Amino acid sequence: MRVSKWGNSLGVRLPRELVLELGLMEGDEIAFSVTPDLHTFVVSRLDSPQELLDQLRKQRRRLPKGFRFDRDDANAR
């Protein structure tokens, strides 16, 4: 792969084989991570919001008795 300048950014074109292996389509979100030796990077496809919701629905677990969702607590830093 070659790093190219696209506007003010740098971009990489993914080889067709990798796109097919990951099942990527235009608009999909991907993540890059680097191995500790800094010689290899890993490309992974991130689940779409719909896929994440579908996974949650499959679990269908009951919430603990007395559970109350508090948006402020969930977003506290």
Listing DSSP states for 5-47 in one string gives: EETTEEEEPPPHHHHHHHT--TT--EEEEE-TTSS-EEEEEPP
Total structural domains within the chain: 1
Q: So what's the pLDDT on residue 27?
A: 84
In angstroms, the CA 46 to CA 42 distance is: 12
Q: So what's the pLDDT on residue 20?
A: 93
Is 51 contained in some domain?
yes
Distances (CA, A) of 20 to 4, 17, 38: 22, 5, 25
pLDDT in tens, 15-38: 899 889 888 888 888 888 998 888
- What CATH code is carried by the domain that includes residue 12? 2.10.260
pLDDT in tens, 39-74: 888 888 887 778 878 888 888 777 788 888 788 887
Is 20 contained in some domain?
yes
Is 70 contained in some domain?
no
Is 55 contained in some domain?
yes
Is 74 contained in some domain?
no
On whether the pTM is more than 0.85, the answer is no
Q: So what's the pLDDT on residue 58?
A: 84
Residue 77, pLDDT > 70, answer: no
